[in-house]
Structure 1
Amino acid sequence: MRDTIRFIKGGVIVELHDVGPTETVLDYLRLRRKETGTKEGCGEGDCGACTVALGRVIDGRLIYQPVNSCIQLLGMVDGTELVTVEDLAQDKRLHPVQQAMMELHGSQCGFCTPGFIMTLFTLYHAEGEAKSRKTVTEWLAGNLCRCTGYRPIVDAALEACFNLADDAFTWRSNETREQLKKLADSRDIFLGTSDRFFSSPASLDGLAALYGQHPDATLVSGATDVGLWITKHLRDLPKTIWLGRIEGLDRVEESESGILMGATATFAATEAAMTRISPDLGELWKRIGSKQVRASGTVGGNIANGSPIGDSPPALIALGATLELQSADTDRALALEDFFIDYGKQDRLPGEFVTGLFVPRPSANQVFHCYKISKRFDQDISSVMAAFRFTIVDGRIIDARIAYGGMAGTPKRASGAEAALKGAILEDASTWAAAIEALNSDFTPLTDMRASAEYRMETARALLAKALMETDGTAAESVRVLAKREADHDRAA
C-alpha cells in the first residue's frame, strides 16, 4: 500500500502525503503552491475559468485533456502530468496559444483567459481535429467569457491550434512518458486514518474489501457530481474512495452484440463507440457537459448517482442496457431500469458498487431515437430527456421501449405508451394516438425552474410523435441533428 499521491508538475515529480479527502486541485494550486493563474469562477465546473490539463499515456500516446480543477479532487491527479497556465511559457517566450490570444486581442479583463488558454492548449496537442470554427466552438463550449466576446478567441484558436505541435511539452514528450510509466503501479493508495481518508484501490478485490469495511464512504469516479457536493452543498465527506486506478474498470469493448464498458469509462472514451450504435447517441454524448466534464465524468457515475434528470439513463434504458454490480461477497446483473427505485434511492446493497454496463446494439429491424430538450443547447441540464427503440416488422411496431428523464423521480419507462404502440402501423398516424395519450397516465411531471409540468407533458407527447414520424420517414433526421447544431455553432462563433 502507498501513502502518497504522485504526479508531474513542471517536469518534476511531486509526492504528497497530506491530501485531504475533499481537497480540490484548485485549492492545492492557489492555496498551497500560490499559483494563482488558475481562477475560481462558478465553483461547479460550468465556466471553465479553473481549467487545467492532465497528461496521461493512453494507448501508447501522451494525451492532454482539459479538466475543471474546482471540482477535481487532488488525489485524482495521481499518475498524471498536471499542467497549468504557469507552465506554458518557456524562457520568457509565450506558448503559441498565448501568443495568438495576445496578438488577436482574445482577452480583456483576463479572468477567464487562463481557462481558455488551457483548453486551447489541449486542442493544440490533439491529433486529427479538423480546422474549423465548429471544432473550436465544440472544444470551448465549457469556457465562458463575459467581456471579450468569442470571435477573437476563436480566431486565436484557428491561428494557433491546427499546426504541428511544437512546444516544450512536445520536445520532452518521451521523457514525460517515461516519468509517467514510473509513476504507474498496482499498489492501493490510502492517505489518512480509518475515520478520515482519501483512498484509491488498484483492483476490484481491493475496492470490495475496503468498501465492505467502510460502506459509509463516498465512491468517486469523475467527481463531476460529487465535486458539487463539496463546493456548493458544503458537505463534509470524511471518507472518499476514488475508483480511477482500478485496473480494467475503464474498459470499452465493442462486439457485434453491443458495448461492454467499465464503470469508470468516461464519456470522452465512450463517445466514438456510442456514435457507432446510433448517431443520436453521438449527438447526446456531445451535449453532456463540456470537454472538461466529458474528460472526467463517467457513464457509470451518471447512472450510480441516480439523478432523475441524468442524460444517459433514459437512452440506455430504451436500448435495454444491463448493469453489473459487485460486493465483497457477491456479484449480480440487473436490467438498468430496475436499478432506479425511487428519488435518490437505487437497488444497491451496503458495500455494493457498480462495475460495468452492457449496452445492446439495435438489431436490423429495430430503430432508435433519442432527444435532449434543454434551455441551452450546450452544457445544460435536461428539461426532458426522451429515448425510443421500436422493433418493426412489415411496417408494424411489434415492440417498443420508451424511456424518459425529467418526467418522474427516476428515469422511467412509459409502460402504457409501450403497450399501446404494439401493433401500430407506421404509415397510419391514427394508430399512434392511443400511445401518445397513454403518456398522460404514465407520468405526473413536476414544475420546477427548468420547466412546468404542462410543458414537460406536452414535450413528451411531441417527442414520441416526432420519433414515430422520423421512423416513418415523414420527418428528416438530418434537419433535426445537423441544421440545429450548425445554427448554434454559427451563433456561438
Structure 2
Amino acid sequence: MRDTIRFLRAGKIVELSDVGPTETLLDYLRLREGSCGTKEGCNEGDCGACTVAVGAPHRGTIRYRPVNACIQLLGMLDGKEIVTVEDLADGDILHPVQAAMVDHHGSQCGFCTPGIVMSLFTLYHAGKAADRFAINDCLAGNLCRCTGYRPIVDAAKSVCTGEVGDRFAREADATVGILQFLSDRQDIFIGNDKSFFAAPRTIDSLADLYLRHPDATLVAGATDVGLWVTKQLRKLPKVIHLGRILGMSQIEDIGDAILIGASATFEDAMPHFSAIDPDFGEMMRRVGSKQVRAAGTVGGNVANGSPIGDTPPVLIALGSTVELRKGNESRALPLESFFIDYGKQDRERGEFVAGLMVPKLAANQHLRVYKISKRFDQDISALLGAFRFTVEEGVITEARIAFGGMAGTPRRAYSTEERLIGTEPSKTASWGTAREGLSIDFKPLSDMRASDHYRLETAWALLAKALVELAGAPSEITRVIGRREADAAFQTEALHV
C-alpha cells in the first residue's frame, strides 16, 4: 500500500503525501503551485475556464483529454500527466494553438482563453482533421461572452488539421514510459480510519475497503460529487476513488451485448452505444461537454440514482442489467428494479455498482431516444424519453419505454407499453389508449425546468414522434438534427477508438 499520490507535471514527477480527501486539482494548481493561468469561473464544471489537459497512455502513445480542474479531486490524478496553459509554449515560441488564437484574434478579456486553449490543445492532439462539427463539440463546454466563437473556430480550423508536431508529440515515448512507471499495482491510502483518500488497485481491495468503511463516498469521475464539494459544501471525510481499479473501466463486446465496467467514462462508452443505435450516441454527446464526458462514468450516472440522469432511461429501455458487489458476493438485477424511490436504490450498505450488461438490438427491434433541455448542448434534461419496439410484420409485439424527469426515479411506462402491443405504427387511430397509459404511469412534478403539464404533454409528443418514425417517416421531417448526420458522425468517431 502507498500513502502518496504521484503524477507528472511539466516533465517532473510530483509526489504528495498531504492530500485532503476533497482537495481539488484547481486548488492545488492555484494555491499550492501558484500556477494561476487556470481560472476559477463557475466552480461547477460548466464554464470551462478551469480546463486542463490530462494525459494517460493509450495504445502505445499518450492521449490527452480535457477535464474541469474545479471538480477533479487531486487524488484522482495519480499516474497521470497534468498539462496547463503555462506548459504549452516552448521557451519564447508559442504553441501552435496559442499562435492560432493570436493570429485569428480569438481572445478579448482573456478570462476564458486559457480553458479554450487547453480544450483546443486536446483537439489538436486528436490526430485527425477537425471539421466544424468536431470543433463545436470540443468548445461546447467553454463559455466565452466577449469574443464570440467565430474567430475561435477559425483558429481551431487553421491548426487542428491532424498534423501534430509540438514538443508533447516529440516527447510522447518518454512520457508514456514515465506514466507506466508511475502506474504501479499498489493500493493508495492517505489519512487514517476517520478521514482518508483511498484509491484501490483491484476490485477485491475495493470490496474489502468498502465493507470496512460503508460510510465512505465512492467517486469515479467526480462530475457530480465534485459539486457536492464546491457548491453544497459537503464534508466528505472518507473518499474512495474507483479510477485506478484494474478492469473496472473495460468495455467488452460479447456479441449480443456490451459489458460496461462501472468506471468506464462516457467518452469511452459513446462509440459503443452509438453502434447500438445513432440516437444513443447522439444522446451521449449531449450528456455534457467534452470535459464532463472525459471524466464522468456510466456506472456513476446509474449509481447516483438521479431522476434526470441521461443514461438510465436508455439503458432501461434496452433491458440492461446492473451488477452489484458486496464483499465476495455479487448479484445482478434488471436496471429498472435498482431504482426504488428518489435518492434510494436497491443497494445494501457496503454494496457497490460493479458494471452493466447492455443488450444490443435484434434485427426486428428499433430504438428511439429524445432529450428535451433548455440548452441543446451540456444541459440537464427536463425530460428524456427512450423507446425500444419489437416489430413483426408491421405490428408492435413488444415495447419497452422509459422516461427520465417524469418521476422521482428513471421509470418504465408499463401501462403505456401494454397498450401498444398489437398496435400498427402506421395507423394513428390505434395509438389512443397509449396516451391514457402515460397518465396512469406518471404523475410528474413541476419544477424550475418544466411544469407537470408540459412534461406529460411532451412525453406523449415524444412517443408519437417515435411511432411516426417507426412507421417510416424520414428523419428530415421529424428531426432538427437527423439520424443520418448523427450516424455518420459517430461512425467516423468509432473508427478512431
Fold shared by both chains (TM-score > 0.5) = yes
SS at 1:432's partner residue?
Answer: helix
Structure 2 residue 272 is the aligned partner of structure 1 residue 264? no
Return the offset for 1:163: 4.4
| Whole-Å separation in 2 of the counterparts to 1:186 and 1:478 | 54
Call closer, same or farther: CA 1:271–1:146 in 2, change over 3 Å: same
SS at 1:355's partner residue?
Answer: strand
Identity level (%): 61
Alignment of 1:434-473 (within 5 A): 434-473=433-472
SS at 1:281's partner residue?
Answer: helix
Structure 2 residue 286 is the aligned partner of structure 1 residue 287? yes
Contact persistence 2:61–2:172 (CA under 8 A): no
SS at 2:240's partner residue?
Answer: strand
| Whole-Å separation in 2 of the counterparts to 1:33 and 1:393 | 63
Contact persistence 1:21–1:198 (CA under 8 A): yes
Call closer, same or farther: CA 1:485–1:36 in 2, change over 3 Å: farther
Q: 1:490: which partner in 2?
A: none
| Whole-Å separation in 2 of the counterparts to 1:138 and 1:208 | 37
Task: After superposition, give the CA deviation of every residue in 1:299-354 in whole Å (9 maximum; x if it has no partner).
Answer: 00000000000000000000000000101141100000000000000010011000
Return the offset for 1:481: 5.8
Alignment-mate amino acid for residue 352 of structure 1:
E
Q: 1:432: which partner in 2?
A: 431
Q: 1:96: which partner in 2?
A: 96
Residue range with higher mean Cα deviation, 249-258 or 208-217: 249-258
| Whole-Å separation in 2 of the counterparts to 1:484 and 1:32 | 48
SS at 2:434's partner residue?
Answer: helix
Contact persistence 1:203–1:246 (CA under 8 A): yes
Return the offset for 1:474: 2.7
Structure 2 residue 13 is the aligned partner of structure 1 residue 13? yes
Structure 2 residue 326 is the aligned partner of structure 1 residue 350? no
Structure 2 residue 182 is the aligned partner of structure 1 residue 162? no
SS at 2:258's partner residue?
Answer: strand
| Whole-Å separation in 2 of the counterparts to 1:251 and 1:375 | 33
Q: 1:134: which partner in 2?
A: 133
Call closer, same or farther: CA 1:235–1:52 in 2, change over 3 Å: same
Return the offset for 1:437: 2.1
Contact persistence 1:283–1:481 (CA under 8 A): no
SS at 1:389's partner residue?
Answer: strand
Q: 2:105: which partner in 1?
A: 105
Residue range with higher mean Cα deviation, 380-389 or 157-166: 157-166
| Whole-Å separation in 1 of the counterparts to 2:164 and 2:426 | 54
Structure 2 residue 197 is the aligned partner of structure 1 residue 198? yes
Contact persistence 2:55–2:65 (CA under 8 A): yes
Return the offset for 1:59: 2.3
Alignment-mate amino acid for residue 43 of structure 2:
G
Alignment of 1:403-442 (within 5 A): 403-442=402-441
Structure 2 residue 394 is the aligned partner of structure 1 residue 386? no
Return the offset for 1:162: 1.3
| Whole-Å separation in 2 of the counterparts to 1:477 and 1:238 | 52
- Aligned Cα RMSD in Å? 1.4
Q: 1:396: which partner in 2?
A: 395
Contact persistence 1:469–1:475 (CA under 8 A): no
Structure 2 residue 207 is the aligned partner of structure 1 residue 208? yes
Call closer, same or farther: CA 1:221–1:85 in 2, change over 3 Å: same
Structure 2 residue 481 is the aligned partner of structure 1 residue 482? yes
Runs (4+) off by over 6 Å: 484-487
Structure 2 residue 276 is the aligned partner of structure 1 residue 277? yes
Contact persistence 1:436–1:465 (CA under 8 A): no
Alignment-mate amino acid for residue 60 of structure 1:
G
| Whole-Å separation in 2 of the counterparts to 1:145 and 1:484 | 30
| Whole-Å separation in 2 of the counterparts to 1:180 and 1:481 | 44
| Whole-Å separation in 2 of the counterparts to 1:485 and 1:47 | 30
Structure 2 residue 22 is the aligned partner of structure 1 residue 22? yes
Task: After superposition, give the CA deviation of every residue in 1:8-37 in whole Å (9 maximum; x if it has no partner).
Answer: 000101000000000000000000001100
Call closer, same or farther: CA 1:89–1:192 in 2, change over 3 Å: same
| Whole-Å separation in 2 of the counterparts to 1:32 and 1:288 | 32
Return the offset for 1:479: 5.1
Return the offset for 1:485: 11
| Whole-Å separation in 2 of the counterparts to 1:478 and 1:282 | 20
Task: After superposition, give the CA deviation of every residue in 1:443-474 in whole Å (9 maximum; x if it has no partner).
Answer: 01111111111110110000011101100113
| Whole-Å separation in 1 of the counterparts to 2:169 and 2:366 | 45
Task: After superposition, give the CA deviation of every residue in 1:418-458 in whole Å (9 maximum; x if it has no partner).
Answer: 01111112221111110122101110111111111111011
Contact persistence 2:476–2:482 (CA under 8 A): no
| Whole-Å separation in 1 of the counterparts to 2:227 and 2:327 | 29
Task: After superposition, give the CA deviation of every residue in 1:47-80 in whole Å (9 maximum; x if it has no partner).
Answer: 0000000000022221000000000000011000
Return the offset for 1:164: 1.2
Return the offset for 1:477: 6.0
| Whole-Å separation in 1 of the counterparts to 2:295 and 2:156 | 23
Task: After superposition, give the CA deviation of every residue in 1:378-428 in whole Å (9 maximum; x if it has no partner).
Answer: 000001000001111111111110000000000000011001111112221
Q: 2:69: which partner in 1?
A: 69
Contact persistence 1:267–1:294 (CA under 8 A): yes
SS at 1:245's partner residue?
Answer: coil
| Whole-Å separation in 2 of the counterparts to 1:255 and 1:6 | 35
| Whole-Å separation in 2 of the counterparts to 1:440 and 1:102 | 56
Q: 1:81: which partner in 2?
A: 81
Contact persistence 1:5–1:189 (CA under 8 A): yes
Alignment-mate amino acid for residue 415 of structure 2:
G
Alignment-mate amino acid for residue 64 of structure 1:
Y
Structure 2 residue 242 is the aligned partner of structure 1 residue 243? yes
Return the offset for 1:356: 0.4
Task: After superposition, give the CA deviation of every residue in 1:284-309 in whole Å (9 maximum; x if it has no partner).
Answer: 01101000000000000000000000
Return the offset for 1:476: 2.5
Return the offset for 1:227: 0.1
| Whole-Å separation in 2 of the counterparts to 1:11 and 1:443 | 56
Contact persistence 1:425–1:431 (CA under 8 A): yes
Task: After superposition, give the CA deviation of every residue in 1:174-211 in whole Å (9 maximum; x if it has no partner).
Answer: 11011011101110000011100000000011001100
Return the offset for 1:131: 3.0
Return the offset for 1:91: 1.2
Q: 2:489: which partner in 1?
A: none
SS at 1:274's partner residue?
Answer: helix
| Whole-Å separation in 1 of the counterparts to 2:251 and 2:478 | 31
Contact persistence 2:373–2:380 (CA under 8 A): yes
Contact persistence 1:385–1:406 (CA under 8 A): yes
Alignment-mate amino acid for residue 112 of structure 1:
C
Structure 2 residue 41 is the aligned partner of structure 1 residue 38? no
| Whole-Å separation in 2 of the counterparts to 1:48 and 1:165 | 24
| Whole-Å separation in 2 of the counterparts to 1:203 and 1:225 | 23
Residue range with higher mean Cα deviation, 324-333 or 469-478: 469-478
| Whole-Å separation in 1 of the counterparts to 2:393 and 2:484 | 33
| Whole-Å separation in 2 of the counterparts to 1:483 and 1:29 | 42
